[in-house]
């Protein structure tokens, strides 16, 4: 899939239920073949639009999915690394013991969730490969 095709799909999702002239024009500008948009529900179309807008970086969309927190090397960050990162992003804050304890609890939850998400991603990759 190319970025142009993803952008055409994004426009198709944003024009579900509307006249096809806009989508035909977009496809022509992107130099991709026009394919009539499939009829889908409004919520599905909105989800596709937001995901593709994020993926193609054509808007300021936040990531539409919860992703594991990873380091530059792709490794899921540990509790200590999450705490260290959070403290480094607020150097002006006076981190009292109760603040650090609350931060650590949040980091433990986030690290656990990141491990779970990374496991789901890996399982999905394994199933797709077989």
- 94 pLDDT higher than 80: yes
pLDDT band of 36, cuts 50, 70, 90: confident
Say whether pLDDT at 32 is over 90: yes
Residue 20: per-residue pLDDT: 80
111 compared with 24, residue with greater pLDDT = 111
> pLDDT above 90 covers what percent of the chain?
54
Q: Are 55 and 36 in contact (CB under 8 A)?
A: no
- Weakest mean pLDDT among 15-19, 69-73, 86-90: 15-19
pLDDT of residue 116: 96
pLDDT confidence bin for 101, thresholds 50/70/90: very high
Mean pLDDT score of the chain:
90
Question: Do 20 and 9 meet the contact criterion of CB atoms below 8 Å apart?
Answer: no
* 3-state SS string for 104-124: HHHHHHHHHHHHHHHHHHHHH
Is the pLDDT higher at 18 or at 29?
29
């Amino acid at each position: 899939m190319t970025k142009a095709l993803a952008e055409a799909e994004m426009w198709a999702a944003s024009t579900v239920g509307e006249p096809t002239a806009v989508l035909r024009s977009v496809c022509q500008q992107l130099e991709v073949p026009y394919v009539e948009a499939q009829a889908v529900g409004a919520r599905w179309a909105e989800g596709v639009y937001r995901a593709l807008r994020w993926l193609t970086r054509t808007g300021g969309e936040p990531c539409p999915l919860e992703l594991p927190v990873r380091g530059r090397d792709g490794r899921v960050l540990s509790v200590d690394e999450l705490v260290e990162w959070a403290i480094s992003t607020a150097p002006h804050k006076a981190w009292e013991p109760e603040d650090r304890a609350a931060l650590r609890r949040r980091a433990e939850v986030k690290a656990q969730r990141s491990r779970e998400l990374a496991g789901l991603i890996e399982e999905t990759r394994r199933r797709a490969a077989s």
